[in-house]
Structure 1
Amino acid sequence: MIIYNMILCFLEVLKYIFISDMFFLRQKRKFNNIILPVSLVCVAMGIVAEFNVVNYLILYTLFVFVQMAIIYENVNPKFMLLTLWSVFIITLLDEMTRVIIEVLMDYKKIGNHLIERFMSSLITVACLLSLSIIIGKKYRNRIEKVGIGYYIFFLGLTIANTFIIVFFKEYVFAQIQVDNVALVYVTFLAMSIGMFIEIALVMMLAVSRSDYKERNELNQKFLEEQKNHYKYLEERERETKLFRHDIRSHLNVIAEGLRKEKYDEVGKYIESICGQIENFGNVLTVNNGIVDAILNRYYSEAPKKNVSMCVKGQIPKNCKIEAFDLCTIFSNVLSNAIEAASKSENKSLEVKCGYKDNKIVIAVENDYDGNIKMKNGKYISNKKNTDYHGYGLINVKRSVEKYSGSMNIRAENKFIVNILMYNR
């Protein structure tokens, strides 16, 4: 019996791993680091469950929290809320599958409580595995960014639904005397399915609101990039007009110096004028308006942070990548690159753009101080605004994947971001 309970505990672990994978792209600890502690906790749970030492629900919840802390890294409040929510959503699933099994067992006249529990767990594991595969990484990214308030709401809603289902199954349906027992089971299953649909719809609403909020923030950022570029161009135009206004005076000074044969002074004066021309006349272009705007903005900001920025290559004139996505990609990558380069010793940044056939390639290489932060297997910035840790690169990856592309990040002597997209 203890071995049977231990097997059930391992099945429970699988259920929570699948749910966690559905909601979070979380980094699991290495298998050899978790197998022993997980096994020990399962053994302890199996023994305690056998002798009913304490309230089973409290023990089971504690068991789940311990297992999740062992298996996953960086366990935070949102993840703990999800784990607690999982306790109740899995209870709902188990109750549904148990009813189905009870119908089959009664039909075959081989009812057995142990077999029911085991089969119920297997079916629940199979359902959660299927959902995990269906949801995929695309939806996991979206769910992970839902605010913690929604998780609290999900938890309250699921707890209420779980208690309703358990109450009806154990107390209401058990008291109903009908000739057609199948009708009771069908009613119970319909209630359970309705509750799952209700929870799913609330989640979809939360994800949609989160997406809308994020999209709005990115739109604001896009408009801000355009505004900054226009200000940059206006400043350049103003400086050009001032220089043109003074050009006659400059020529008079040069002519006077030549007349008096002060060649060294004239040479130095011409060099200073050339320096001024380079300061306001060097506008970067890669053949794309919005990318030019972003590149020139950061190119003008780079010297303020003592960063040497170099841009090479071009983007095709008939670029089919939406301006919104180009803004998302370049603004996020360059913002991180300049921030990292400014803290390094060499302080250099290089941007390369190129294309061939229907492929567009972007490479950004920058120096960094060797301090790399990672969370759940993802790179995050060292910026002070921790509310958006990691989301910049997530947004970049999402924009890249819209065009069947890929993003590769490496931290070697330099921090390198390589992006490939299809121009279609």
Structure 2
Amino acid sequence: LYIIAGIFIFVYYQVLASNELKISELESEKRLYDLNKTYMGVLEHQNDELNMMFHDTKNHYIAISSFDNIEDVRRYVNKICKTYDRKNTLCISNNKMLDLILNKYIVVCSQKGIKFDYEVKTADLSYIDDSELSIMLNNILDNAVEAAEKSSEKRIEFSLRHVQNNMDLLSVINSCDNPPRHNDRQLLTSKSDADKHGFGTKIIKKHVKSNNGRYEWKYDEQSKEFHLTVMFQVNKAPEPRR
């Protein structure tokens, strides 16, 4: 009986490992498809922005030609330069994957009427594998978009910076009219939830932990904001996957 039980357990784990490998391959293919689709969407958005910029440039030339005072010309040029500085958003950091993800949500938030503010300072998470970074940030920002879209303020703030003791601090704050449902700080998934912050939370925590990160969240009743914070240890090797 022990021998039979041992053989059965061995076969069971072999089948389980094979199924996990197939699932991993399918997830990799889906991530590649999503990335290609996202990149095309970003390029299409940038192309639309360029077409509008060329159209606006013609009108700017006409307006500038009508000025008689050089100071008026300088003030006008300075004003439109600030507008164009925000147009070219493809290069935000030194991490191409981070740039691609942020550009994706710049486009998504623009389409959904959500104000998306981002600030990337002295950190770019380049030490995290692209696929890991994609899974983490896409799940985090998907949750933020779903909650912000249903809120009255419709706002998301993304911040990434290096802090003391070789730590990188990732912060995402989004407007959220209703407190998220949770059980002893464990966010709950529910399709009827207005915020939907429970969706993908286990995936986020899993990949944060495997990259030496600490995940925390809180909800501010007064400001009606959901705060998510991830602290990454830069100088440690990632934990082995289990």
Aligned equivalents of 2:205, 2:110: Cα separation in 1: 28
Aligned partner of 1:299 in structure 2 is 106
- Asked if the contact 1:226–1:290 (Cα under 8 Å) also holds between the matched residues in 2, the reply is no
Pick from 203, 225, 232 the counterpart of residue 421 of structure 1: 232
- Asked if the contact 1:349–1:364 (Cα under 8 Å) also holds between the matched residues in 2, the reply is yes
The 3-state SS of whatever aligns with 1:281 is coil
Question: How much does 1:208 deviate?
Answer: 4.6
The 3-state SS of whatever aligns with 2:173 is strand
Aligned partner of 2:34 in structure 1 is 224
The one-character-per-residue Cα deviations of 1:198-219 (angstroms, maximum 9, x if unpaired) are 1354145235514641552254
1:406 aligns with 2:209: no
Aligned equivalents of 1:276, 1:312: Cα separation in 2: 17
Higher RCO by CA contacts (8 Å cutoff, separation 6 or greater): 2
- Asked if the contact 2:215–2:231 (Cα under 8 Å) also holds between the matched residues in 1, the reply is yes
Please identify, of 196-205 and 351-360, the stretch whose mean Cα deviation from structure 2 is larger. Answer: 196-205
Question: How much does 1:237 deviate?
Answer: 3.8
Please identify, of 297-306 and 367-376, the stretch whose mean Cα deviation from structure 2 is larger. Answer: 367-376
The one-character-per-residue Cα deviations of 1:336-363 (angstroms, maximum 9, x if unpaired) are 0111111123222111112245432211
Change (3 A) 1:243 1:363: closer
Aligned partner of 1:396 in structure 2 is 204
Aligned equivalents of 2:208, 2:230: Cα separation in 1: 7
Aligned partner of 2:240 in structure 1 is none
Mapping of residues 266-415 of structure 1, within 5 Å: 277=84, 280-283=87-90, 285-314=92-121, 316=123, 319-356=126-163, 358-374=166-182, 378-383=186-191, 392-413=200-221, 414-415=225-226
Q: CA RMSD in A?
A: 3.8
- Asked if the contact 2:216–2:229 (Cα under 8 Å) also holds between the matched residues in 1, the reply is yes
Aligned partner of 1:12 in structure 2 is none
Aligned equivalents of 2:49, 2:151: Cα separation in 1: 32
**TM-score between the two structures when normalised by the length of structure 1:** 0.44
AA partner of residue 221 (structure 1): R
Change (3 A) 1:382 1:307: farther
Change (3 A) 1:307 1:333: same
Task: Tell me which protein shows more helix as a share of its residues.
Answer: 1
In structure 1, stretches of 5+ residues that fail to align are 1-190
The one-character-per-residue Cα deviations of 1:61-112 (angstroms, maximum 9, x if unpaired) are xxxxxxxxxxxxxxxxxxxxxxxxxxxxxxxxxxxxxxxxxxxxxxxxxxxx
Between the two proteins, the alignment pairs up a number of residues equal to 225
**TM-score between the two structures when normalised by the length of structure 2:** 0.72
Task: Tell me which protein shows more strand as a share of its residues.
Answer: 2
- Asked if the contact 1:405–1:422 (Cα under 8 Å) also holds between the matched residues in 2, the reply is yes
Change (3 A) 1:381 1:251: farther
- Asked if the contact 1:287–1:314 (Cα under 8 Å) also holds between the matched residues in 2, the reply is no
Aligned equivalents of 1:324, 1:207: Cα separation in 2: 20
Question: How much does 1:279 deviate?
Answer: 6.8
Change (3 A) 1:270 1:360: closer
- Asked if the contact 2:148–2:156 (Cα under 8 Å) also holds between the matched residues in 1, the reply is yes
Aligned partner of 2:2 in structure 1 is 192
Between structure 1 and structure 2, the one with the greater Rg is 1
In structure 2, stretches of 5+ residues that fail to align are 238-242
- Asked if the contact 1:308–1:349 (Cα under 8 Å) also holds between the matched residues in 2, the reply is yes
Question: How much does 1:277 deviate?
Answer: 3.9
- Asked if the contact 2:97–2:130 (Cα under 8 Å) also holds between the matched residues in 1, the reply is yes
- Asked if the contact 1:309–1:348 (Cα under 8 Å) also holds between the matched residues in 2, the reply is yes
Question: How much does 1:401 deviate?
Answer: 1.6
AA partner of residue 417 (structure 1): L
AA partner of residue 227 (structure 2): I
Aligned equivalents of 2:155, 2:103: Cα separation in 1: 16
